[in-house]
Amino acid sequence: MVKRFGGYSPRMRSPLSNRRGASRLPGIAQWVLDTLGGFSSRVQNPRALLVGIAAGVLCAFIIILVVDFFRVRSLASFEPKVPTKIFDKNGVLVAELFRQKREVVPLSKIPKNLAHAFVAIEDTEFYEHFGVNPKGIARAFFINVFSGRIRQGGSTITQQLSKILLTSGERSIYRKVKEAFISIMMEIFYTKDEILTLYLNQIFLGHGAYGVQSASQFYFNKNVWDLDLAECALLASLPSSPNNLSPIRFPERSLERHKIVLAKMVEAGYVTIPQAEKAYLDFWPDYLYYINELPPTMNTWSSRIDKAPWFTEYVRRMLVKKYGEEKVYEEGLLVYTTMDLTKQLAAQKVLPPALKRQTAVSGSLAFRREDQITEQYGPLVDVFSLLFNCNPFRRTGSLEVKKVNDALKERVIDELEIINYFTGGDALGETIQHYRVGYADDKDYQKVEGCLISIDHRTGYIEAMMGGSEFTSGNQLNRSMQSMRQPGSAIKPLLYAAAMESKKFSPATAVLDSPLVYLDTEGGDWVPENYEGEYYGLLRLRKALSLSINVISIRIADTLGIEYVMRFYGKLLKLSSADTKRRVPRNFSIALGSFEVSP
């Protein structure tokens, strides 16, 4: 006897399985159908179940909309990501730091032609719909169906804005439905002008430019309020596909799209046909000439303002350490520094050529091995020249010497080194090694680097800074701040300041300049000497400092005490107590600048 429970018998087949052709379904699909059929037969009231599921989905969607409601309301205080700007002490813009290049401008500064151009090409009925345009959606649907491909979108400007600000941007029906509801809420709480202002400041327009002001500066090198009709129409041609319609990358496509935007403006009644034709014909000849000089890979990052890269990087590190990257790159800080841009530009003009000249001098003074052949094989070559009637091979720096050395370097040395590698000839290997030292090619590795820093002695403010010759990806060590060098006699004014502050010395105090000997605990001695090895007897401090006398500096440090001098150095150099003990050695050589500091 077969018992039934809830109207279901395990021997009965699901109604779905009785359909013709069901047996030919794949095994997994058949299992799903059987499971659903069995589940529906177990439920007493399938209709109630469906209503419950629908109610649950609706409640979840309503909760999501409530959350979105508060997000829409928060747009009133929305602050887009804008660059941090660094200024010099006179308020001159020095550099910008950003991830998205955006400049926010009010609608009052945006030309009417620009607003009209965007409305004409993106959303003709912007001022008439309620956030969603059913007619536009239907029109786009039929155009895309009959053309066989996607030629037109149905999204309004409000929907585009909600997609940018409040949705994930993924391609799904759920996102489109959510976007529609958010757009309706935006239309309820904000005016058309407020929505358009947000849109024009937020939209991506290619090459890293966000918003019409940033795009205007990038494409035309002018502010958005200075744009003419043709320039306004060109910016409006970009939102649908900024990279593929870029006039810099694809001028032919941009020409065609530009025509369409101007035609749409004529169709909407914003401009007349003669105005559109004149704008188009007058604009392109000069603009094509202008963009012809621009690299296709150019973007807002490569064209960013950075007039003082060494100083900018120094400030950037300080800002990131104090505020964090997000605040620095996205919240539009206004940073006013002590730098004087005029002095900074002068430093950038003077230092690199000076280092290049010094590199040439240092290279010419480097030890050469052009006489290596003449010293060891000169007599043999002279005999060879006599036997075969060749030009004499003089041992001085003659043209023949240069020719032989050039030929050896270009044609012989590498081959000889390979032979030496396999044969293991020590004498040959040593000769090759000696000869290689001093190659002109090796002198590239002897490039002289330096730094420059200008400090206002009255305030201690940095007015100019150069950390090296050129700021590049391979040369970012800021030698002004990160390289440690011994100051030498440059430390003596600080020592004399410590002497004056102690009240034990005055500029007129006479100190004996005579030989000194210090013994250490291990039986060794230290004998400080003056630079020229001369001693002058009793000297007043003002004279001793002008002559930079080493022995008198040691006597001052001895009188003051090593601890006093160390504390004074730490105070003036703004070192902590721990850094002072770590960096300043506890011996009298610190009077001569034996410890390391940055410039």
- The residues that are catalytic are 122, 489
Closest CA to 215 of 193, 198, 196, 237: 237
From CA 245, how far away is CA 257, in angstroms rounded? 8
Closest CA to 267 of 390, 116, 380: 116
Is-contact 470 381, C-beta < 8 A? no
Closest CA to 372 of 398, 403, 394, 405: 405
From CA 565, how far away is CA 588, in angstroms rounded? 9
- HSE, CB side, 13 Å, CA atoms: give it for residue 149: 1
Give how far Cα 40 sits from Cα of 16, 20, 50, 79, Å: 11, 20, 10, 52
Own/partner contacts of 518-527, CB < 8 Å, gap of 24 or more, are: 518/588, 526/589
For the residues of 386-447, what is the DSSP string, one character each? HHTTPPP--SSS-HHHHHHHHHIIIIIHHHHHHHHHHH--HHHHHHHHHHHTT-TTGGGGG-
In the three-class reduction of DSSP (H, G, I as helix; E, B as strand; rest coil), residue 345 is classed as helix
Burial of 95 (0-12, 13-18, 19+ CB in 10 A): buried
User: How many other CB atoms sit within 10 Å of the CB of residue 66?
Assistant: 10
Is-contact 405 413, C-beta < 8 A? no
In the three-class reduction of DSSP (H, G, I as helix; E, B as strand; rest coil), residue 221 is classed as coil
Q: Two tokens at 450?
A: 């330096």
In the three-class reduction of DSSP (H, G, I as helix; E, B as strand; rest coil), residue 531 is classed as coil
Element (H, E) at 95: strand 93-97
In DSSP terms, 539 is beta-bridged to 511
In DSSP terms, 86 is beta-bridged to 95, 335
